Chain A
């Protein structure tokens, strides 16, 4: 029985989704990935895993866009990936500022401590 190219694409997406979910789950269990990011990545993997189920639902949309359902799924995954990247960038920017403030506080506290020790020495 010949398998259509669409089926291969959907099966590949589903397979990658299963592997991705397993990796994300393992990282979350090892606490290398916090809950909020694990949820984001699992959602993305979920799109891949259920590609086969969602494909028929996406058929009308895909037809109106003159693309295959697999392309619609891939497009959705790209949008979600971009959203996760933007969210990560926001998080990193916030962490950079927090890191900077912490570094400044340590330096000020260290200087105050040195001055107090110097005063006590006198």
Chain B
């Protein structure tokens, strides 16, 4: 337990070796947990990989008072919920998707970790929105050029960007097409 606490402290500082140790220890049980929600082994593996990525992206905000397993399982649960919600928008036969698990008190508490919450929301952005955001904000490319590349009108691209930023600020994820 003390060893794990040490690992999580190192994780919070961006130590890749600590992340590797935590993956070794928790990947398999986390995949079992994800499978119990998704009932699909491939999706469960991918969900756990995504969960580790979110944990890594939000590592600076990790609260070391929590056991890593509690933290990871909460993130895995959230990734699974995102996946179920996304797939519910797809045309699949009714009754094939599992129910979204209810939020526990622990989830409610962890959700107040603002950085992690922002990462969860960002992870839900689709490919077009990701390209738009990165291209305009970090690469400094003109919106007109990005819009053309993504097959959007310039006005649509500007509106999308505005809505992405607004929704991330407000805390609501912008769901579109």
- The reply to whether chain A is a binding partner of chain B is no
Hey, which bits of chain A sit against chain B, CB under 8 A? none
Hey, which bits of chain B sit against chain A, CB under 8 A? none
